Amino acid sequence: MSKLSINDKIKLNSGYEIPQLGFGVYQTPANEVDTIVQEAFKVGYRHVDSASAYRNEAGCGAAILRPTIPRSQIFFTSKVGPKHISYNAAKRIIAESLAKTGLEYIDLMLLHAPYGGSVNRKGAWLALVEAVEEGKIRSIGVSNYGAHHLDELEQHIKELEEERGGPGKGGVISVGQWEVHPWCPRKDIVEWCRKRNVVVEAYAPIVRGERFGEPGLKRLAEKYGKTEAQVLVRWSLQKGYLPLPKSVRAERIKENADVYDFELSEGEVKGLETEEYSPVCWDPTTSELDNYSGQEEV
């Protein structure tokens, strides 16, 4: 029997803990997200992953603030959108996210993509750091950064420490979020994160269903009496990642969390992973350092 459980948490570099299984709300309609997140809470999820660009933060906040579960037991993530990667824009987005959700603090805020150019990325990161210092955000990180963007961020943190008065003043990277699954393992990024104790969150952990039917995956599902989606979520958990499965259907929400009554062998975990680089979502990780893609506001 597995040693993992739906209540498992991972300690972040910030000192806070994050539930290992998350619930994604990308493309979840704003007028439905409150009910859908409540459904996720019913089956045990305590970690909700949203973003300013999803335009459904208000419904997430409504579900979180209902009296059924104490706020302290729920972990909420949002993100500064790809078009707002700059100091001033990020400050505004953070304020808007707090206002829309009605929350006193956001557990985790990420920069959604490595756009805006180097100066603006540094400025957006500084906005996150200041929000942590002001108690508005507890932990910070990035999403869709390539290894070269991560190296640059590390340099920005060093520069901010020098500019702002010492260690810790440049912020602490707690989480990175990417599309990660057996057909897009991102070994270079995962290695970078693990050397620094940065937690890896995996969106699209079930590959949007596009790999269902793959012989190795199908064989494991049949062996354990599970769906292929459940095998993929379990693979992500056993790799030490934080998978973020998403669904708007109650039965699928429950199914994606029902992954704690079986365990893949070490060989099966390794065997499922491929050498492919086949993302099924957008992939800003490959963008150049001077990429200003989609920038709307500075």
Residues acting as catalytic residues: 54
Asked if 171 and 160 count as a contact pair (C-beta separation under 8 A), the reply is yes
**Cα–Cα distance, 140 to 125 (Å, whole number):** 9
**How far is CA 88 from each of CA 49, 98, 132, 237, rounded to the nearest angstrom?**
23, 16, 16, 36
Distances (CA, A) of 124 to 112, 147, 176, 219: 11, 18, 15, 45
Phi and psi of 169, rounded to 5°? -75, -10
Residues, the chain, total? 298
Of the candidates 134, 45, 34, the one whose C-alpha atom is nearest the C-alpha of residue 109 is 134
Does 181 belong to an annotated binding site? no
End-to-end CA distance of the chain: 52
What are the backbone angles phi and psi of residue 36, rounded to the nearest 5°?
-70, -40
d(CA 167, CA 148): 23
| CA–CA gap between residue 35 and residue 66 (Å, rounded) | 11
Extract the annotated binding site for substrate: 112
